[in-house]
Amino acid sequence: MRDLKKIIVILVILLMSMTIHANNSDQQIALIFDASGSMWGQIQGVSKIKIAKKAMKNLVNDLKQQKNIQLSLRIYGHLNKKCDNSVLEIPMGKNNHSAIIEKISSIKPNGKTPIAYSLLKCIHDFNPNLAGSKDIILITDGKESCNGNTCEVAQQIKDAGSITNIYVIGFGMKKEELATLNCIVDPFGGKVIGASNTGELIEAFKKITQEVSIKKNLEVIGLDEKEKKVYMDVDIYLDSNKIASSEGTNPTFTLETGVYDIHAKSRDTEIEVRKENIQIKEGKLLEVKVVFGEASIKLKSIKSNNESLNAFYTIYKSGTEEEILNTQGSGYVEKTILPGNYDIKIYEQDTYSTLWERNIVINSGETFEKIFKFEMGTIVLIPQKADGSPSSEYWWYYFFKTGNDIKEDKTKEGVGQQETQMLTGNYTIKVIDGYNNEVQTINNIQVQAGQRTNVKIILEK
């Protein structure tokens, strides 16, 4: 009975320690229960099936209090002696505790031990649309007896990328028998735990509880344009240093609170997508979807002396006024965008200057990167009377790029001499004086980088 209590406590600790995800996602735990004929065997005078039933009942009752765990129950060996005798008896769900206990109570050991077959079937016991980790716990009293290759199957499951971890609990198994189960958990970094060796059991559970009690707080989900899962390699960077790596369709990570960059590369297409400045908090699971049909833009604006500018960027569908994205920043600004044709408007607020980059073609998986340089010169406006003396009237000035007299690039107004910074280029200035609203047009004003251009305006009256 001492071993019975140990097993009950172990099962409770193991699964309670796996209740680690934030309230906005459910952890799914698929239980695979051994009901093969060998479960009639005894440990210290008590049948293994009786020990297992009692342990499972205590576990399920305890998990009733947990809000964010879903359970399923798969049993093998209970119906007949065939190697395909593995059945999902209780589907994945939250409020199925009573059904699981009832089914466990009715089990009568009978057949063989199809572990490999059961693991393959168990992949489909999870809800693929539910966020959070997906763990398998296999409870068995022996090794594979149906000629299945458990090592190969475990690697197939790992390569599929949907399962987070696998744990194996062995009842009354010899050390060399337990060792044959290691290849099931090795691809996932899981544990094989023996229930007949107290010392090894305590040590193993110390390690496993430490591992599973650390909360996963980042899940990276790989998708294509049709939202089908994509197998990928994922690297996590902190301050340009790679601090974690994993692979799969939805790998999970445990990170300290901070701001991270994610680099994900599709195994099939080798397209790389980057997500930058991702805020991670301890104790809260963040899902980051990486769509390999996406593209990105990486923009930066600088002054004539190469100093960074705080610029505003507006992305339009090419040839239209339909805004797709607005962003701003000094230094590089990187955003995810769907593939397509775009126009980019860049506005610098200190000098009220605007640049355009038109008809940009961005393909899937590509990054459009450009540095916009605001080469500036100064126009000095000198209003004068006909006799050459300074004018004291109020003037309005409208600046147009030469050849474009429809929309002004900038406006200016005031009394007396005025200065304004302009992008390099050739301009036309339209002037309205405040005396009689007379309009003058001054053509071919050339602005050069770092230069001052004096423009005299004569008020004729």
Q: What are the pLDDT digits (tens) for 400-459? A: 887 665 555 678 888 888 888 888 888 888 888 766 667 788 888 998 888 999 998 886
**Token pair listed for 42:** 């005894």
Q: What is the pLDDT of residues 134-191, one digit of tens each?
A: 888 888 888 889 999 999 999 999 888 888 888 888 777 888 888 889 899 888 877 7
What's the pLDDT at 313?
94
Helices (H), 191-246: 198-213
Spell out a b/e string for 220-254, using b for 16 or more CB atoms within 10 Å of the CB, else e: bbbbbeeeebbbbbbbbbeeeeeebebbbbbbbbe
| CATH T-level assignment (fold) for domain 295-374 | Immunoglobulin-like (2.60.40)
What is the C-alpha to C-alpha distance for residues 381 and 415, in angstroms, rounded to an integer?
10
| Span(s) in the chain for CATH 2.60.40.2190 | 376-459
Tokens of 263: 């680099």
Which residues, in sequence order, are CB contacts of 404 under 8 Å at separation 6+? none
376-459: CATH number: 2.60.40.2190
> Domain 218-291 falls in which CATH fold?
Immunoglobulin-like (2.60.40)
With a CB cutoff of 8 Å and minimum separation 6, the contacts of 34 are: 52, 76, 77, 113, 138, 139, 140, 141, 142, 171
Could you tell me the CATH superfamily of domain 2-213?
Answer: von Willebrand factor, type A domain (3.40.50.410)
97 vs 61, 70, 87, 93, 173, CA distance in Å? 7, 10, 18, 9, 28
Measured in degrees and rounded to the nearest 5, phi and psi for residue 47 equal -65, 145
pLDDT band at 14 (very low <50, low <70, confident <90, very high): low
Distance CA(364)–CA(411), nearest Å, equals 40
**What are the Cα distances from residue 394, in Å, to 129, 317, 417, 459?**
67, 40, 10, 11
Compute, in degrees rounded to 10, the torsion defined by CA atoms 157, 163, 165, 170: -60
Range list for CATH 2.60.40.1120 in the chain: 218-291, 295-374
